[in-house]
A and B are shown apart, each in its own frame.
Chain A
Amino acid sequence: MEATIGEQERILASPWGGGSNPFGTSWGKFMMWIFIVSDALTFVAFIIAYGFMRLTAPAWPAQDEVFSMYLITFMTFALISSSCVMAIAVGAAQQGRKSEAVKYLWLTIIGGTIFLGSQAYEWYHFIEEGARLWFNPFMPEVPQFTAAFFVMTGFHGFHVFTGLVLLLYTVIRAHMGKYTGDRVEIAGLYWHFIDVVWVFIFAFFYLL
């Protein structure tokens, strides 16, 4: 028995053994990273499926004729800026500057709301023009175009909505005085992940 415990301690002390805190993070932050990895795999599947569809499609509509690139650029700007103020909110929260953290959290929420509102506007007009999940009015022989659009931006938009709920919860808790820098950082990680996903959709769906 003694020998077994000694053996375990020897393994745990090794560089890959782990020990009590192998990743040097709180459990909450580590779980958020694990969640982000699994969520990223979902979006990897979407983007690869989109790539396959794009490569096998007989043609593809010109995105700048179907969408307003000004709106897309504005949405991208809003989301990147909200990601920046979120990072500042995390920095403020970790330094214990509560009022500053709350201010920047609200700015993040405003940025996210602008993005989501713009996306709702985009969807409204796209659907009004006749676009459906299975039907592409701009090029009826390529329904892959609208299918990819609705699935990718829909899933991303729902993530933005979820992120806003998480941020509202965090900021309300902060107003109540029940907050820690770690909690704000966990919400921030999710928010930055949403930004990362949009960077991919922006480049591969709208620009390529």
Chain B
Amino acid sequence: MSEAVHHGYGIYWKTWIWLLVMTTLALVVGSVDAMPGGLKALLLVGITLAKVGVIGAFFMHLRSEKLDLVLITFTPIILAIIFYFFIWWDAGDSTSRILTLR
């Protein structure tokens, strides 16, 4: 029983280690000034999505939930991100304009 329990928690400690490794990686990427902005953004987005995937799969147990739950969780968020970019050409600078007009 005790062994089974420790085995059950081991996955969380491993996840924690991986999250710390990825956080360190993100810090390193963020601190390199010589890196082109586009590459830096791409790497940071990649690391962030990997971290979120790990937290979702292991801490929030999405890997053992039904696929239906995973789909209704991520679909609205992905669609929202796509839809927001549709307004970029019309309203991309509106937030900045409101602030600088003041």
Chain A residues with a Cβ under 8 A of chain B: 22-25, 30, 33, 36-37, 40-41, 44-45, 48-49, 52-53, 55-57, 64, 69, 73, 76-77, 80-81, 83-84, 86-88, 91, 95, 97, 134, 141, 143-144, 147, 185, 188-189, 192-193, 195-196, 199-200, 202-204, 206-208
The answer on a CB contact under 8 Å between B69 and A23 is yes
Please tell me which one of the listed residues A30, A144, A192 contacts residue B55 in the complex, with CB atoms under 8 A apart.
A192
Please tell me which one of the listed residues A33, A69, A192, A203 contacts residue B47 in the complex, with CB atoms under 8 A apart.
A203
In the complex, how many angstroms separate the beta carbon of B21 from the nearest chain A beta carbon? 11
Residues on the B chain within 8 Å of A147, using CB = 99
The answer on a CB contact under 8 Å between A91 and B96 is no
Q: From B58, which residue of chain A is reached at the shortest CB distance? A: A87
Known pairs A33-B69, A189-B60; list 10 more (Cβ under 8 Å): A23-B72, A24-B65, A37-B76, A44-B81, A48-B81, A73-B23, A188-B59, A196-B52, A207-B30, A208-B40
The answer on a CB contact under 8 Å between B95 and A95 is no
Determine the interface band of chain B, counting residues with CB < 8 A from chain A: 35 or more
The answer on a CB contact under 8 Å between B59 and A41 is no
In the complex, how many angstroms separate the beta carbon of A66 from the nearest chain B beta carbon? 14
Residues on the B chain within 8 Å of A76, using CB = 23
Q: From B4, which residue of chain A is reached at the shortest CB distance? A: A95
Docked CA distance A144–B96 (Å): 6
Known: A40-B77, A56-B93, A208-B41. A45 touches B55 (CB 8 A): no
Chain B residues with a Cβ under 8 A of chain A: 5, 8-9, 12-13, 15-16, 19-20, 23, 26-27, 29-31, 40-41, 44-45, 47-48, 51-52, 55-56, 58-61, 65-66, 68-69, 72-73, 76-77, 80-81, 84-85, 88, 91-96, 99-100, 102
Please tell me which one of the listed residues B8, B16, B51, B77 contacts residue A91 in the complex, with CB atoms under 8 A apart.
B8
Docked CA distance A84–B27 (Å): 20
Q: From B52, which residue of chain A is reached at the shortest CB distance? A: A196
Please tell me which one of the listed residues A64, A91, A185, A199 contacts residue B31 in the complex, with CB atoms under 8 A apart.
A64
- Could you jot down 13 A-B contacts, CB within 8 Å? A23-B68, A48-B84, A52-B91, A53-B95, A69-B27, A83-B19, A84-B13, A84-B15, A91-B9, A143-B102, A144-B100, A207-B29, A208-B41
Chain A CB within 10 A, most for which of B58, B80, B94, B99:
B99
Docked CA distance A97–B9 (Å): 13
Q: From A190, which residue of chain B is reached at the shortest CB distance? A: B60
In the complex, how many angstroms separate the beta carbon of B43 from the nearest chain A beta carbon? 10
